[in-house]
Chains A and B, each alone.
Chain A
Amino acid sequence: MATAEFRVSARKALADPELRANFRRAMDGLMSRRADLFARAGDWAGLRALGAAARLRALARLPELLERLEAKLVERGVRVHWAETVEQGNAIVGDILRRRGARLVVKGKSMVSEEMHLNHFLEGEGIEVLEADLGEYIIQLDHETPSHIIMPAIHKNRRQIAKLFFERIKGARYSEEVDELTALARAVLREKFERADAGISGVNFAVAETGTLVLVENEGNGRLCTTVPPVHIALMGIEKVIERLDQVPALLALLTRSATGQPITGYVNMITGPRRAGEKDGPDEMHLVILDNGRTRVYADAELRDVLRCIRCGACMNHCPVYTRVGGHAYPGTYPGPIGKILMPQMLGLEKVGDLPHASALCEACTEICPVAIPIGDILVRLRREGTRADSRAVQGAGARRSAFESLVWSAWAAIYATPVLYRPMVWTLTRLGGLLPRGLPGLRDWMRVRARPRFARRSLHELARRAGLPDA
């Protein structure tokens, strides 16, 4: 969904019981698996501190580390490209593929490629792109975008997937058995891996010290994409770099445990350059595209910069009571859930995301489990603030949510609540006459959709405390 009002799309999702059941079941499973693993594996706090430190150290020296990464990669024969915008990024990938005469591309999971709408772009160039991750393959078949950054097809249940495969895969037999569905996808994709002219992948961590790209996955599709075709193009945002290889174990442990409750993924694939002389497989040509797409602007603000710590584990989604109820497609842009709520307003501009920063109860469940301790709630509050400030240049579209009426309400509220001689009479009045407030009052009407009318007490706490003779100081 491009930039629709979140509230509208959320309303639609809330009215879809099948969708809600799919997310509820999946998020419950993911939460309990993560909790079990961290409970058994101890030292969550120490691991988290270590992971956060690695990310903070990387951000503190980001430009320098990117240059070092580039130098190391070039030394190992990787061609490094920089893109300020998704258009530039797409053009770079398109040029590489055109030069190699590529007609068929297989692709591992990459959220950056989703940011770029790369598939759409390449199809326009006449290049067939096949998503190889099973979840991505499922949604590609249905012309959808990921509803979760780790589990892209989590919004579908097996019945829906069975129907999709039956309708879209030639010669498929109808089955709701997960093993059969998986085998079907394997058969289709294996032939594509064999024939593919190029493989595209994302990057989980890029190690500046050694010029190593670390890719994590369970299926083996990532390994196939980066090993079998003659060309490998890796895509990453500028924030993916870390200083040293010895920081990988902690980040990896946090990533896989937080994402899916696994101690490690089936494969950790560390790539340091294309095939060398004498090697029998691996791509003979390897590229890394480093994408900005608004990240440098995020980086410029000391508080907002914390968003760039993110290691894309998706745990904030799994633990978010809002995401669980509306699912990923209700959110504008590429990244849903809490991380999306603090990233997309900055990438797209506050004027494009409607009330998104306000669509949170600030329950802080995300902050509590974030493996690199991003203060998600604080950043949300900051973005709400930016929405009311026309004088700020920190975020594109600052001031877009300014409303004279709201400002007036808050000024009045502050004046009353900051002034005891106004506050106490207001409370006195509400306790006596609050019952007379018209039920059509905007806030009251919304409150009363599923709740009874709130009843003001007959005497305030101030009155009772004074009556009880409590000292004032």
Chain B
Amino acid sequence: MPDARSAILTRLRAGAPATVTPPDEDFAPVAGIGMGGEERLARLRRAMEAVHTEFLDARGADWVPAIHAWMVAQSLPSLILAPRTEPGRRIAERWPGLGAGPRLIPYDRPLAEWKAALFAENGAGLTATLGGIAATGSLILIPSADEPRTLSLVPPVHIALLEVARIYDTMWQAMREQEWSRAMPTNLLLISGPSKTADIEQTLAYGVHGPKRLLVVLV
């Protein structure tokens, strides 16, 4: 409706302040705060565990069998993965040698072609991350053609790999160092815990729409 557009913009221009001195911005409150590596991890873990995120420390070990063992222990029936990503390939390669365990399901076609099956699946989805944010306890995800958005959204359990060396102090620091604004992807996510709600009497309940559980695997 081009008429509405010009009417709105014309009215705004007519009302716009004549002299504009926009206030300066001091980013100190959101900038990095010079945390050490261990402190970053500790902060991230504390914040995420406070909202029921689970952790599996696979540093210095092979994370594929670690995930396999965890899933077997949790009796999870299936693992949906992104077959063309590096972690996806690695799992596909190693999984058969680990013995009985969850079935692997590659996310290798458009959602529309298997929506019902994906929604019916009762296992976990595995994604990589682009790092974490210590101050808020968040994972940075950039879904892509190879790693779809629904992989971290529809399965009841989300397993995310986090490289400990890629944890930033704050969101502001992460977006500057990773230069988000230069080329924003279709979707960029911060995930800070499993799905939750407090809409009934302010009482926290987990797994309302998205994943009921979030497992962060430290690598």
Contacts and interface: CB of A to CB of B under 8 A. Distances in A.
* A–B proximity contact (CB within 8 A): yes
Interface of A: 25-26, 29-30, 43, 46-47, 49-50, 52-54, 56-57, 60-63, 66-67, 76, 81-84, 88, 92, 132-135, 138, 151-154, 157-158, 161, 178-179, 181-183, 185-186, 189-190, 193-194, 209-212, 218-221, 223-224, 227-228, 230, 238, 244-250, 252-253, 260, 263-276, 278-282, 290, 292, 296-297, 299-302, 305
Contacts of A227: 149-150, 153, 187
A10 to B, nearest CB: 23
Contacts of A157: 201
The 6 closest A-B pairs by CB, nearest first: A220-B210, A300-B15, A135-B199, A296-B11, A46-B29, A281-B111
B190 to A, nearest CB: 4
Contacts of A282: 143, 148-149, 186-187
B20 A60 contact: yes
A194 B184 CA distance: 27
Contacts of B189: 223, 267-270
In this complex, which of A81, A92, A210, A260 has the most chain B Cβ atoms within 10 angstroms of its Cβ? A210
Nearest to B16: A63
B208 A221 contact: yes
Given A138-B199, A246-B27, A266 B192 contact: yes
Contact of A249 (B11, B175, B188): B175
Contacts of B9: 63, 66-67
B202 A26 contact: yes
A189 B150 contact: no
B22 A266 contact: no
Given A252-B171, A280-B145, A161 B192 contact: no
Given A223-B149, A250-B30, A268-B190, A132 B209 contact: yes
A212 B184 contact: yes
A221 B153 CA distance: 10
Contact of A50 (B26, B149, B180, B207): B26
A219 B209 contact: yes
B7 interface: yes
B212 to A, nearest CB: 9
B186 A272 contact: yes
A189 B209 contact: yes
Contact of B136 (A151, A250, A264): A264
A178 B203 contact: yes
Contacts of B191: 266-267
B107 interface: yes
A68 to B, nearest CB: 12
B170 A249 contact: yes
B196 to A, nearest CB: 5
A188 to B, nearest CB: 11
B199 A134 contact: yes
A234 to B, nearest CB: 13
Interface string B177-219: 0001100111111111111111111110101111100000000
Given A46-B28, A269-B187, A279-B144, A182 B138 contact: no
A392 to B, nearest CB: 15
B157 to A, nearest CB: 13
A247 B26 CA distance: 11
Nearest to A277: B145
Contact of A186 (B107, B110, B184, B209): B209
A190 B8 contact: no
B195 A280 contact: no
A394 B24 CA distance: 29
Contacts of A67: 9
B8 A296 contact: yes
A227 to B, nearest CB: 5
B96 to A, nearest CB: 25
Nearest to B193: A266
A216 to B, nearest CB: 9
Contacts of A274: 186
Nearest to A43: B29
B105 interface: no
Contact of B47 (A50, A189, A246, A263): A263
B1 interface: yes
B10 to A, nearest CB: 9
A19 to B, nearest CB: 14
Given A57-B23, A63-B13, A182-B200, 17 more contacts: A50-B29, A56-B23, A76-B186, A153-B200, A218-B196, A218-B197, A221-B209, A223-B189, A224-B210, A228-B115, A228-B154, A238-B8, A249-B175, A252-B171, A264-B136, A282-B143, A296-B12
B184 A158 contact: no
Contacts of A66: 8-9, 12
Contacts of B171: 248-249, 252
A33 to B, nearest CB: 9
A419 B207 CA distance: 68
B9 to A, nearest CB: 5
Contacts of A83: 1, 4
Contacts of A193: 119, 209
